[in-house]
Structure 1
């Protein structure tokens, strides 16, 4: 509990008040979470709640065996309470609490007895032998103090020997004891070692100072975050109101558009109704006129037949016939006319409902303002006609990742001639974006990235776009120093995503950052120079290395296991091993090793014992191995046969692919091999440097690049979709874009 006492020694009542009973602390006890409460309050709280939670911070508390009584007393609060009482009661006219005012007023305070004394009683008090060690604080000292005097402290008495002051500390028991305890319960020996408090307190103070040094920066950060959260809380209504205004305006516009469309459709219906009505009225009049003529002729004929004389019939017959013929020969329009105005839904309600559900998006964003000067873009070497990505990190004023609207971020890429290259911006997480583009020409491109119109740090950036056959990163040059390589034969990714390079010429493993190419560390390997050949890593992160001799002499062939730190932990020399080359380690620790002399692959137990010999009579010069455990298959390159052979772990040949040649899909001394996550097989030719990809069934898919470093051997695929190639005579490792 932090002190809230002012320099004038006035006390904050809240600081001296128990948060439960809201009265001054009575026998204050400290919980493990460092919050203080009255002993009685805690006892009552403990009866109501199990498990017990701190009333202030809700932290679950495990009480000692003695319950609340076993909790430590807050002596500091007790001292402050005493001091507050004395400061309040030591004024003019306050009687002595011993002689009850028979002498002059109280002038002193006995810390141990916790009573006010006049001068006379103070002198008498000091004469008693049992009270000689009591601390007397005078009124002058109280009045002159700006805070609580360091001497104003109750002496702490032993709970077992109530007349004894706690003056020793038993280290093994980690408890304060008195002199009597050092004789009885804490006698020095194997289990107890009581030492004077003075010899321990300085060390404890130093420990507390270290804690303060560790806590204060965190406290500062938390205070800063709290201030930021309070600011965000204060700004939340404003941002929410603004969002409501924007949403209201947006949907009002949509509603207005629908209303306009509604009025337009209704007006069109009305117009169509009038047109159709007019047309029907015209047709009706024509039909009515024709009907009247036909009815008149028909009635005239009927009357002549029924009532006229023969003479009259003869006379009118010609006239009636003429009229009827005129009516029958006159063309009339009896075709049906459009008679209904029908409304049809252009967009189905269900479809429109789906669109409406997507209208408007509500997001909760960090209100910290993005600081373009703190944002960063990682520029990687690009390859022509390949999708390339530049990660963008958006940072706020406090240096934290923050969310920004997509419309606030712009990324413009131009090629060497100034033409714009299409870019795409995709948010990948809080404060993390990907700027992707596929350049169509090589050369220096210009990438300009802005946020809210402000350029991010370093913008515009130079993006070097290289040809497919140009490595995006090259590690090492000939030599034996840090970052230099000599005859690297194989590569593997370690558990941290770094690239471990096996140097046959220098007899060591050197580990590089796979993104930057920086040398991180190295360690020597046993077996002599020009002896190590293949490297892989087991599921525990250990390096598995094969050792052989250039000329096939026996004696130093072995498999050695090194820890992550490079310490040799195991050496295996199975009798079946002759001239080991590439190695692949399975998840259960078994190993598949290519052996030049045996002209086969050896499936070995983790202890090096032979399980079976695979490929005998089919392989001639096996080099490197890749395993696809999901398919229970492994792939091995054969340098002399110019093929890749595929076996299952039972030793059965499943299929093979490839033939000698210089064309795509053909092999010229295949060496390094690996399998990508989709099961595709990547193989490099030592003869012509072609780095090719084949489907899981061995069908040729494409050529990644032509390695320029010279004599490529072992390869590995990195998480960034780069292929690392160990170039034996180029004394380097080259990285090529895979996807």
Structure 2
């Protein structure tokens, strides 16, 4: 049955056939948007066999319907049966209230029961309103007490800080006195040294004059007086040397500078910057070492995380959008993956134009990488794109079953992968991502797994195929903490793994409510681990916390600004804006 189910999937949109049409080459595709996007000049090229066919006079509408696929899809639809009795399809309808399948008779009984339940619920609601009014009064009183407590705590903090300031000022005066005392003492020593130097200078000067006069006469060196005078000169010279070093700088006996020794300065500064902890506690709780402070002050990191969540909840208004349908510069045909560089350049996987396009933050097209083909640097359908910390551009070439790498200037570097199921081989690779170690993660869509490679394309590991855990993974993202978030397309959920492929948890179910998906697509994560997901067939973007808790969603089906049709890729800009590739409208929107 699984093989039959796969035959009912469109090879282009990778989803169950919708109005399947058959080409002359016997390959089938959805009428819209799949075949519609492949039409060029009243002809169409088959994405699988590459055969080119002329269209009938009335276009793709005139292509024959794949009747067998339509019948198989109809047969797979579940048979409706009354939940309460055994009445079959013909007389069974759905309850408008709870969506249960019931026959006409059971619906009447069911409706009366719902009315009775509603009356009981109304009584409970009225009681609840009274209790809520009492709680509202209590909360107002508690808010007043909390404000008064906050004012008291501010006064206490001010008094504590003032005490520290007074102590620091007192310490400043004491240190100044110590400096003055040392300066006076060392100045006295310098003056005494100066006096001794003057005495020695006078003695040396006198002896120099006498020696000069003796040198002008004929001396009898055997005269004892001459010998004694020579000895006195030598003695005075040695004493002068004791006072002065050979280079003329006063000797080390004289202290010329004063130094403040403060080995604990960093510890003191740290203690000041981290002084005090302010926390909130419930009634009757006594915080240890709280000094009577009882209001909560969140850390800076928590404050930033809270602000980020607040901004996500306010998303939904489009700031700008760019792109139209076509193959010219700045035009797109079904944009898929999208990635923002550190410079806020936006790289778009222009899927059916078989290329990458690079835009600046305001939507100005700055360059194109690739063209249609099978050679190096060419693509046959571009699924996703990411950029490494070194500027390398990595793109999935899904119909050529390979990954291509380009440098920051768009020049081809290398390719890896081939068609197959072995390690390092792919069947229609789709999502790509990289981590801070340079590892490359690839959603191997057809093989229902994720493969991990080194920066140069060497196979490292694979995960997700064990116990059929992943069913057609499309996109993925790697958080700054090494978690790998994978979009499990056919299971309509996100699965979270560690960097080694060990399963951590999953969230999401099939549906249209909050935290439910209809084919999850592009995934982005921020520095706090929050997860942004393109919910493709629900035509919206959903935001979750790192543990899978729902935060917000925005977007609806349509072509007006702020609306979207089949969103594929998402990415985050440096200012927190979210860029979305609006695949069905052939444009990128920034929220």
With the length of structure 2 as denominator, give the TM-score of the two structures.
0.44
Q: Which has the higher helix share?
A: 2
Higher relative contact order (CA 8 A, sep 6+): 2
Q: From the CA coordinates, give the structure whose radius of gyration is larger.
A: 1
